[in-house]
């Protein structure tokens, strides 16, 4: 049985993902086990670079900036190692790539950011949109994507984003949301 103490949230939800992925066309017979902490404590920052609309924003992903995240990621790696050592997978595993490299050197994002235009009531200084995706203080403007999720779902964001879009579309087509 695979267990990890920090791999669960205080409510008992799983806080990690272990997934196999092909190395691609360059090495089609290579399969890697990737791990992810799905509910990280670290937070990214997005800020305007200037007042010019053609200047890209400043984005700091904040990866591993909270000490809880490297510890949770190390536990997730141990779970992946235990999984790789279990038959029949162990019969196929030949080696671990970069096992001695520091976690920070092996960490990246798999591009599921959320929360940069967080949903919340108008009085919340961190909220950008209301429950229907309407931007506070800007008439006829909505944001309808993963950026309005107030916190990261403990899953990939594709399905939750579709759910948000469907719900906001229902608000937009109802007579109650004029």
pLDDT in tens, 118-151: 999 999 999 999 999 999 999 999 999 999 998 8
What CATH number has the domain spanning 1-110?
3.30.560.10
Locate 47 and state its tokens.
């800020």
Q: How far apart are CA 90 and CA 39, in angstroms?
A: 29
Candidate list 14, 111, 112, 136, residue with the active-site label: 112
User: What's the pLDDT tens digit per position in 32-46?
Assistant: 888 888 888 888 888
Residue 3 has pLDDT above 80, yes or no: no
Residue 11: predicted pLDDT: 55
Q: Which residue did the predictor score with more confidence, 134 or 3?
A: 134
Domain with CATH 3.30.560.10 in the chain: 1-110
Q: Model-level pTM greater than 0.75?
A: no
If one counts every other C-beta atom within 10 angstroms of the C-beta of residue 124, the result is: 13
Query: For the range 64-71, what are the long-range contacts, defined as Cβ-Cβ under 8 Å and sequence gap of 24 or more?
Result: 64/103, 64/104, 64/107, 66/40, 66/41, 66/42, 68/6, 68/41, 69/37, 69/40, 69/41, 69/42, 70/103, 70/104, 71/6
Residue 10: predicted pLDDT: 55
Residue 122: predicted pLDDT: 94
Residue 42: predicted pLDDT: 86
Phi and psi at residue 95, in whole multiples of 5°?
Answer: -170, 165
Residue 1: predicted pLDDT: 36
Residue 165: predicted pLDDT: 95
Residue 22 has pLDDT above 50, yes or no: yes
Residue 177: predicted pLDDT: 64
User: What's the pLDDT tens digit per position in 57-113?
Assistant: 999 989 999 998 898 888 888 989 999 999 988 888 888 888 889 988 988 887 777
Residue 5: predicted pLDDT: 47
Buried b (16+ CB within 10 A) or exposed e, 7-32: beeeeeeebbbbeeeeeeeeeeeeee
Active site residue 136: no
């Amino acid at each position: 049985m695979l267990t990890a103490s920090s791999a669960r949230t205080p409510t008992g939800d799983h806080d990690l993902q272990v997934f196999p992925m092909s190395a691609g066309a360059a090495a089609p017979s290579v399969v890697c086990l990737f791990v992810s902490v799905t509910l990280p404590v670290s937070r990214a920052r997005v800020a305007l670079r200037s007042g010019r609309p053609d200047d890209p924003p400043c984005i700091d992903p904040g990866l591993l900036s909270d000490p809880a995240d490297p510890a949770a990621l190390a536990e997730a790696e141990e779970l992946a190692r235990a999984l790789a050592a279990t038959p029949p997978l162990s019969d196929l595993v030949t080696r671990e790539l970069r096992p001695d490299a520091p976690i920070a050197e092996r960490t990246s994002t798999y591009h599921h950011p959320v929360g940069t235009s967080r949903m919340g009531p108008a009085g919340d200084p961190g909220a950008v949109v209301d429950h229907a995706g309407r931007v506070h203080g800007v008439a006829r403007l909505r944001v309808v994507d993963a950026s309005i999720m107030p916190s990261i779902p403990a899953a990939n964001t594709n399905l939750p984003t579709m759910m948000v879009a469907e719900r906001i579309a229902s608000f937009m087509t109802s007579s109650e949301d004029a």
